[in-house]
Amino acid sequence: MGRAMEQAISAAEANRQFSRLLQEVRTGQSYVVTTHGKPVARLVPFDQPDRARQEARAALLRRLEGQTASDIGPWTRDELYAR
């Protein structure tokens, strides 16, 4: 199931149409609420953040599976944090 793109909406408009927005969020729509054109909040379905985290983790693990580990030899903590 594809996820709908987030739609930007001003805080004033979100306030006027909050009931409609909630109905649309139940069906999978997401919104970024803006104030003076800057994002301040996200309105997403309740389970979406967990799903997004799982998808990101799976993508990272797929990417890492294709990489080989490299042996950089021994190192000290001081070398790791050397400036």
Closest CA to 17 of 4, 5, 33, 6: 33
pLDDT at 15: 96
pLDDT < 50 stretches in the chain: 1-3
The answer to whether 11 and 40 are in contact (CB under 8 A) is yes
Pick the CATH number of 1-48 from 3.40.1620, 3.40.1130, 3.90.320, 3.40.50: 3.40.1620
Q: How far apart are CA 48 and CA 56, in angstroms?
A: 12
Q: How far apart are CA 30 and CA 22, in angstroms?
A: 10
Q: Where are the domains of the chain?
A: 1-48
